A and B are shown apart, each in its own frame.
Chain A
Amino acid sequence: MFRYILRRLLQMVLAFFGTTLIVYALMFAGQGDPIQALAGERPVTAAQRAYLTEKYHLDATGVGGFFYRYFDYIRSLLQGDLGQSLTGRKIGEILQQAWPVTVKLALIALAVAVIFGVTAGVIAGIRRAGIFDNSTLVLTLLVLGIPTIVLAPLAQFFLGVKWQLFPPTAGAEPDFYALLLPGIVLGSLSLATALRLTRTSVAENLRSDYVRTARSKGLLKRRIVSVHVLRNSLIPVVTFLGVELGNLMSGAIITEGVFNIPGVGFNLFRGIRTEDGPLVVGIVSVLVVVYLVSNLVVDVLYAVLDPRIRYE
């Protein structure tokens, strides 16, 4: 177990440095004027220029200078200092306001995926090749195939604007009801994947030897499914949902942008639109860390739940 965790940790450290180096090199390397590159087509004021030069030590030159600046960036990233956006607000502060909303949205999406995806998946797995199974397979394929940039605006248009079942946008202080539709849209993809995963897993376990033994002992089918099968089948689903939580927090760019939810993804969306380079790079760095850490936690959790993983 210890060796496994160590190996995953080393891998994560590599991935962390790899990704941040790419993010950082792309920000500054090989451009005539890195500050202008950061700002895109917007004019840069003298004050912003001085701030950025000082913050990123742009007066030092050469490869040594690049790595000096890179490690400086890593240090401030680890200390939680993300610098300022071009509008002068602290990026850390922006994120602090945005996190609760994003977490709330991700939890709603996850709840949708668990309640509907896992339940339907178990039923489909038990009644394999039946009508319910076949229709959920087609339905999940549809959901998996329709990109979020189609699903989100269409849901907003039909359910929000045309039939007015939900508020079409969330606004500054969104309540649960306002976050419900975006949560369902965001969770639909995880719902489809969770459903398919549960279905395959349940169907496979139902054919295993221990289920046959349980059946020959005369146990009720309900007990076999709920105690014997579910326990084993849900291991991959639980780990998938853990990875998904990390994904949902970093992957809500489109959904938050479309529904005007003031979360992390929305700020990134706005940063891209307004060509606010420091904001984009700051948020992306944090999201990459969140993504990597959640992947690590889930992998370790998987090894705890299923001893077979550790010895591969």
Chain B
Amino acid sequence: MSDFETVAATENQAARRGPSGEPGTPNQVGPNKPRSLAGDAWRDLRRKPIFWIALLLVVIVTLMAIFPSLFTGSDPKDCALDRQNQGPSGGAIFGFGFQGCDTYARAVYGTRASLLVGALSALITGVIALAVGLLAGYFGGWADAVLSRVIDIVLGIPLLLAAIVLLKRIGTDNPNFRLGAVVLVLAVLGWTTAARVVRSSVITAKEQDYVAAARMLGAGHLRIMLRHILPNALAPAIVVLTIALGSFIAAEATLSFLGIGLSQETISWGQDIDTGRVHMRESSTPLLVPSTFLALTVLAFIMLGDAIRDAFDPKLR
């Protein structure tokens, strides 16, 4: 889960630092100094209840993914058919599902697969988007033309349909293999929006005076790209990736719901929602509990990204 933590950590830094801040810029704002964009954004964020709710949800969900046993004492794979659709009891606060599994425990343990898929896809997406965006934006010319057309084409492929075709090909039911496949498919199809954002911030950054100064001092392309331009492109990219993380989790659940996502052995919300949906007339909690978990998790990431983006948008002030 360390990947997810890095994303969350850099994000907090970004919230304090701001899109134009170089690493190492002092961010303490004295009483008489003019406030920076980042300072304004942070003041703005601090007053927003949505930001705190989203952050709290993200922290809870992350904890749940790393230490599921903190939240429930029962074993999600301990299922017995004689408990089928039984109501709540001492250990199981939301009762049991169709297969006689503890509904709440399954939802808690399902967090890990969802977050893992979301975080890994967002990470790979971020790497692809930064590489493509940097190359296209920095060099311009034919590199930009070719890469932008590639972005256009990938953007033209409907995500769900392509994912269905790609994942239908995978024959094995090995849990790790399938999880990796879902991550790769989502990343390969989902990097375009972030790449466009990176490209446009790179284009803005490369016109700055300090980039010209660095070039005059003899800095090479690689150094200028990594030390001077990348930090500027990072903050907007992280905001887009936070939102993307939420939608990747939703996409994974949708694929698992259709039965072509994660392996049957992996506990996942998508599959549990599907099972709960089929048997909802007999008992509704097996549908409602994983649905609530999924909706809240996706919402948390989207709200977090949305709040940070709004705070950094001076036009909205």
Residues of A within 8 A of B (CB): 11-12, 14-15, 18-19, 22-23, 26, 37, 40, 138, 141-142, 144-150, 153-154, 156-157, 161-162, 247, 250-251, 253-254, 257-258, 268-269, 272-273, 277, 280-281, 284, 287-288, 291-292, 295
Contacts and interface: CB of A to CB of B under 8 A. Distances in A.
B35 interface: no
Interface in B280-294: 280-281, 284, 287-288, 291, 294
Contacts of A269: 258
A272 B280 contact: no
A94 to B, nearest CB: 17
Contacts of A284: 161, 164-165
7 contacts: A14-B153, A149-B270, A150-B294, A272-B164, A272-B259, A284-B164, A291-B158
Contacts of B250: 147, 149
Interface stretch (B95-103, B166-174, B227-235): B166-174
Given A15-B156, A153-B280, A288-B158, A148 B165 contact: no
B156 A292 contact: yes
B219 interface: no
Contacts of A287: 158, 161
Given A138-B50, A153-B291, A272-B260, 19 more contacts: A22-B165, A40-B171, A141-B303, A141-B306, A145-B303, A146-B298, A147-B254, A149-B270, A149-B294, A156-B277, A161-B281, A162-B284, A247-B158, A254-B257, A280-B168, A281-B165, A284-B161, A284-B164, A288-B161
Contact of B164 (A37, A144, A280): A280
B58 interface: no
Across the A-B interface, the 9 shortest Cβ-Cβ residue pairs? A145-B299, A147-B250, A15-B156, A153-B277, A150-B291, A145-B302, A149-B257, A146-B295, A15-B153
**Chain A contact residues, majority secondary structure:** helix
B287 A153 contact: yes
A153 B273 contact: yes
Interface in B179-217: none
Contacts of A295: 156
Given A11-B153, A153-B280, A250 B158 contact: yes
Contacts of A154: 287-288, 291
B9 interface: no
Nearest to B294: A150
A291 to B, nearest CB: 5
A91 to B, nearest CB: 15
Chain A CB within 10 A, most for which of B149, B156, B253: B156
Nearest to B306: A141
Contacts of A272: 164, 168, 258-260
Contacts of B299: 141-142, 145-146
B160 interface: yes
Nearest to A250: B158
B287 to A, nearest CB: 6
A19 B306 CA distance: 32
